Amino acid sequence: MKMKVIKVEDNNALSTKAANIVCEVLKKESRPVLGLATGSTPKKMYEFLVERYRKGEISFKDTITFNLDEYVGLALTDSFSYRYYMEKHLFQHVDINKENVYIPDGLAKDLSKECEAFERAIDKVGPIHLQILGVGLNGHIGFNEPGTSFKSRTHVAKLEESTRQVNSRFFNSIDEVPKEALTMGIGTIMEAEEIVLLVQGEHKAKILEKIVYGDVTEEVPASVLQTHPNAYVITDIDI
Ligand code: F6R
């Protein structure tokens, strides 16, 4: 085995474990910097973090967050945008200072300038202490689809048709799924001090095996994590 894998029983255990890891960083760092993901996988982790915030165990007062990605062309208030997702599942429930929340703006007039500004913001307060990742069925991390350079920085990415299909479950129809997104690059992601890849559900068994045991190749973006000194997987899949 090339990458450390923490096997857990189910989504509940996975989300508890992930929330614990986030809490440790919040407690340890005076100004924690988190890298966050959206999608189905981390939903329960956010739910648990909100619970622990309500119990008074943690605070996000001094936390700075960088989200991995955002669709191009969706308003910040659009219920399908990742900004909306983050507000709904975490930010509106906790004491985070909104000025410390960074999510690429998919409506920016100049998208490459927006990507540069995002990189600069990370540079200023980074490194990211803990990056949470999910993975797509094709091995993408953020919206870095197969073939993306391991050196890539935050950029405009074209979504694979298969990704649009998979993500259409969050939209009214496939036609509404944007074709492009802004995403942290793989090079950017790899600069985080600690990276936790959450992989939930049997349907991801095949890609997980490639990520953990397969070749490190740009054709399987998440395989790059094998080369990170402090990246590991939490999964409920038997591998
Ligand atoms: C989301 C993101 C994506 C997802 C991936 C898995 O911010 O960066 O890479 O993590 O598509 O999505 P789910 O968890 O919905 O299977």
Closest residue to atom 11 of ligand 1, CA basis = 136
H/E element, 181: strand 180-183
Residues, the chain: 239
Sequence-distant (6+) residues with CB within 8 A of 113 are none
Among 3.40.50.1100, 3.30.360.10, 3.40.50.150, 3.40.50.1360, name the CATH number for the domain at 4-235: 3.40.50.1360
Ligand 1 atom having least distance to the Cα of 140: 9
Give me the residue label for tokens 């050196």.
151
- Compute, in angstroms, the gap from residue 91 CA to the centroid of ligand 1: 18
CA dihedral 64, 138, 219, 225 (to 10 degrees): 40
- Compute, in angstroms, the gap from residue 42 CA to the centroid of ligand 1: 9
Question: Residue 32: exposed, middle, or buried by beta-carbon count in 10 A (0-12, 13-18, 19+)?
Answer: buried
Which amino acid is located at 163 in the chain? T
Of 60, 221, 235, 205, whose CA–CA distance to 151 is shortest?
Answer: 221
What is the pLDDT tens value at each position of the chain, 239 positions in all?
A: 579 999 999 999 999 999 999 999 999 999 999 999 999 999 999 999 999 999 999 999 999 999 999 999 998 789 999 999 999 999 999 999 999 999 999 999 999 999 999 999 999 999 999 999 999 999 999 999 999 999 999 999 999 999 999 999 999 999 999 999 999 999 999 999 999 999 999 999 999 999 999 999 999 999 999 999 999 999 999 98
- Structural domain spans, the chain: 4-235
Would you call the peptide bond into 178 cis, given omega within 30 degrees of 0 as the criterion?
Answer: no
218, 210 contact by CB (below 8 A): no
Closest residue to atom 10 of ligand 1, CA basis = 134
Closest residue to atom 12 of ligand 1, CA basis = 39
- Compute, in angstroms, the gap from residue 86 CA to the centroid of ligand 1: 13
